[in-house]
Structure 1
Amino acid sequence: MMETLTRLWRKAPQPAVLQLARSRDSDWAGSALPQARRRLCREIRRKVPVADAALDKIVRLTGEFIVQSDDALVEEELRRFCREIAIGAGRQGLRGFLEQYLNSLLTDGTAVAEMIPAADGTGLGAVLLCPAESLAVRRAENGVGLRFYAARDGLPGEEVRWPELILYTPLDPDAGEVWGHSVLEGLEAVSRVWEQILRSTAQNFERAGSLRYAVTYRPGEGERINPREVAETMAREWRAAMDGSSGSVSDFVAVGNVEIRVIGADSPILDTEVPVRQLLEQIIAKLGVPPFLLGLHWSTTERMSKQQADLLTSELERYRSLLTPVLRRILDTHLRLWGHTAPFAVEWQDISLQDTAELAQARYDNARAAVLEEQLTEKGEIV
């Protein structure tokens, strides 16, 4: 079956000469540097709920897709495949796999998956997302292709025997590099300050919420007392008054000049609204998601303007352009193993109903204008 896959897979022509060096320091993408970046970005997403919610919104707003083909049999088979393909953990559906793939791409900067042929050789049996650390990547000798190696504990092992079954997508790789960059890179300082503010606020409220009292007794002039005995007596009686059971009221009675105050009551709690909003603005600007989609209502009249809609749409179209080649490769591999090579097209649905309504209104206005122009032309009012 693997020999059949090799014969069916058509390789693109390879360049003959490479004149410039493509690497900076090392050809390996599975080095410690990208692994450390991935761990850091995952930690940022785990500790900053706004960043996690923004990435989830991006994944969900990417939308649905449909497969079309002039061959009715091929179209029916591809749509069945998109619905029923196994993607691991008991889940099915190519849409769910693309969500996992895009999630990994945004968080880790690199997405890795493997296509598993069916045991009977009649198509693909599963498409599984793999951890980015499970694959080491090296640039091929021609400087264009890639060579894949199974990695374990961060170290590259044997070269993958069937690289045609590996799906690998880097996000915004630098010149000469083969690994991508997470959209969360650059938020390290912001997330650190965010965590410090939240931790300090929690500690302040923990201390201020559990009130502590200072009881001060000042003896009068000429009054002779045993300070230690008075302190022990007052502490015992105060503790008894404060430890009263629920529903009971205890009084603390003292003779003389006794002052009771809450420790720290004179110290105001720092206002965190301004610094937290500044941090949120940095996060939202980096991820490109409108704030009201994340439940942040900074203005009573805030709504998505046409410019914001265009920017968000262009951002989502960019991610679709990264997913479409992966999707086409999966479907093409399944068709070849199934024994067909009919052409097909992947059509993404409109990102929002608002866009659909605007397009429909524009078509309606154009149609009305055409009808009016035709009527006026017939009457001779337009030359």
Structure 2
Amino acid sequence: MGLLQKKQTPQAAQAVQIREGGRHPFGVLDSYVPLRSGENELYRSIREAVPIVDAAIWKLIRLAGGVQVRCRDRRGQEGLDWFLTHVDTGRGQRGLQSFLDAYLDSMLTCGRAVGEIVPDRRRRDIAAVLCADPADVEIHQGDSPLSFTLWGRDETGQTRPLPRQELLLFTPFQPEVGSPYGVSLLRSMPFLTGILLKIYQAVGMNWERMGNLRFAVVYKPGDNPLDQSMAQQRSRQIAQEWSAAMQAGREGCVRDFVAVGDVDIRVIGADGQVLDSEVPVRQILEQLVARTGIPPFLLGLSWSSTERMSTQQADMMTSEITAIRRGLEPVVERICELWLRLHGLDSRVEVDWQDVNLQDLVEEARAELYREQARTVRMENDAKEKGAGL
């Protein structure tokens, strides 16, 4: 009987379910290669991928605002103030401050900013002040470090010197020695940002697994020859019934699942331990926030253990804003000096910025009260000493 028994061929295994590895949508960060010129699209992807970095840059831009310009000609001060408030800056915006916001945004993100002063047709006034894409402009140095030329592409794609260089504005951010291009504020962030996004992507996939459960249904046939011969048929029936039960659950219906034999149902990944991401995420965010110079408490991060530490961070923030403003002053001076010359006025100007104050107003009011109380006590003591002397 054993020789005449048909040899059983092994049953083909059922196709296993595989899942995609998962990848965050900012793939440019994974293929990052450090280059000297800086990758503008890469830096914009960092701002889009990490909201706290984008918020830090916008806070720097807002805190650096508040410019006022004083000229020596009293007749031209009123006209200059009106010009600074109403000059066209493109895209429906007006005022020099809107131009400086876009200019500083490009300078911090790309490492350099490019602008243009547009005179009117009669060349008697400034019609607009516009920002340009720094990726479309190249810097060519002259024979000396004091001379450089801005180049752009013409209709044929060839690079040529841009006309009217005296109307073009260019500001590098923290330029390195020997290079006319500046350094982006985000230059040291791609590596850490890539790690941070991988952590966030893994956390999202874990929560998707926990919120949308996957089940593993295992049927173990018994030692009975009948069970062995019908194992494949029963596995198909179990798979169909389980699929129908799951489909009914998605449609809002309750359907029981009944199986015969040894059937084991488990949740896929239920035994896996989810890694704690709080410590590594905080370590990476500390590095990113430290590069921006923004105190953590301004970004909603409770990392300062004492109030005194927050006060010291606010003082450091004031020095950072002052340094950024020094880079914007030459641009403001050139625009205002040209406006005054076009109107036949003294072109000497003085740029005045509003004070940067990050301290608590309640604490300031309390300090002012203490100063007035001390002043009152001194006056009373002086009056008593004079009365005693008489």
TM-score (norm 2): 0.80
Moved more, 344-353 or 144-153: 144-153
What's the offset of the Cα at 1:178?
1.2
> Bigger relative contact order, structure 1 or 2, given CA contacts below 8 A and separation 6+?
1
Match of 2:235 in 1: 231
| 1:146-161 equivalence runs, <5 A | 146-151=148-153, 157-161=159-163
Match of 1:106 in 2: 108
CA distance in 1, matches of 2:289, 2:93: 32
Q: Tell me, yes or no, if the aligned pair for 2:113 and 2:172 is still in contact at 8 Å.
A: yes
What's the offset of the Cα at 1:379?
4.9
| 1:1-383 equivalence runs, <5 A | 34-69=36-71, 71-151=73-153, 157-222=159-224, 224-225=226-227, 226-244=230-248, 246-298=251-303, 305-341=310-346, 343-352=348-357, 354=359, 358=364, 361=368, 364=372, 371=379, 375=383, 378-379=386-387
Letter in 1 for 2:337: D
What's the offset of the Cα at 1:300?
7.9
Equivalenced residue count is: 349
Structure 1 portions without partners, runs of 5+: 1-31
Q: Tell me, yes or no, if the aligned pair for 2:169 and 2:331 is still in contact at 8 Å.
A: yes
Aligned CA RMSD, in angstroms, stands at 2.9
Q: Secondary structure at the match of 2:276?
A: coil
Q: Tell me, yes or no, if the aligned pair for 1:217 and 1:259 is still in contact at 8 Å.
A: yes
Question: % of aligned pairs identical?
Answer: 39
CA distance in 2, matches of 1:303, 1:252: 63
What's the offset of the Cα at 1:133?
2.1
Q: Tell me, yes or no, if the aligned pair for 1:54 and 1:294 is still in contact at 8 Å.
A: yes
Superimposed CA distance per residue, residues 282-335 of structure 1 (whole angstroms, 9 cap, x where no aligned partner): 101111111222222346866863211110000001111111221111111111
CA distance in 2, matches of 1:366, 1:182: 49
CA distance in 2, matches of 1:376, 1:41: 68
What's the offset of the Cα at 1:197?
1.6
Letter in 2 for 1:53: A
Letter in 2 for 1:67: V
CA distance in 1, matches of 2:81, 2:258: 82
What's the offset of the Cα at 1:99?
0.5
Q: 1:355 to 1:248 in 2, by over 3 A?
A: closer
Letter in 2 for 1:229: Q
CA distance in 2, matches of 1:114, 1:373: 63
Match of 1:23 in 2: none
CA distance in 1, matches of 2:219, 2:103: 69
CA distance in 1, matches of 2:208, 2:360: 48
Q: Tell me, yes or no, if the aligned pair for 1:115 and 1:166 is still in contact at 8 Å.
A: yes
CA distance in 1, matches of 2:377, 2:70: 33
CA distance in 2, matches of 1:95, 1:348: 12
Q: Secondary structure at the match of 1:75?
A: helix
Superimposed CA distance per residue, residues 316-363 of structure 1 (whole angstroms, 9 cap, x where no aligned partner): 011111112211111111111122116443221121263887498397
CA distance in 2, matches of 1:140, 1:364: 60
Moved more, 218-227 or 331-340: 218-227
Q: Secondary structure at the match of 2:182?
A: coil
Q: Tell me, yes or no, if the aligned pair for 2:337 and 2:347 is still in contact at 8 Å.
A: no
Letter in 2 for 1:136: E
Q: Secondary structure at the match of 1:251?
A: coil
CA distance in 1, matches of 2:376, 2:258: 89
Structure 2 portions without partners, runs of 5+: 1-33
Superimposed CA distance per residue, residues 151-207 of structure 1 (whole angstroms, 9 cap, x where no aligned partner): 469x87222332211111111111222111011111121111112222233333334
CA distance in 1, matches of 2:72, 2:375: 30
Superimposed CA distance per residue, residues 97-136 of structure 1 (whole angstroms, 9 cap, x where no aligned partner): 0001111110111111010111222221111101112222
Moved more, 218-227 or 228-237: 218-227
Q: Tell me, yes or no, if the aligned pair for 1:63 and 1:351 is still in contact at 8 Å.
A: no
Letter in 2 for 1:191: T
TM-score (norm 1): 0.81
Letter in 2 for 1:81: F
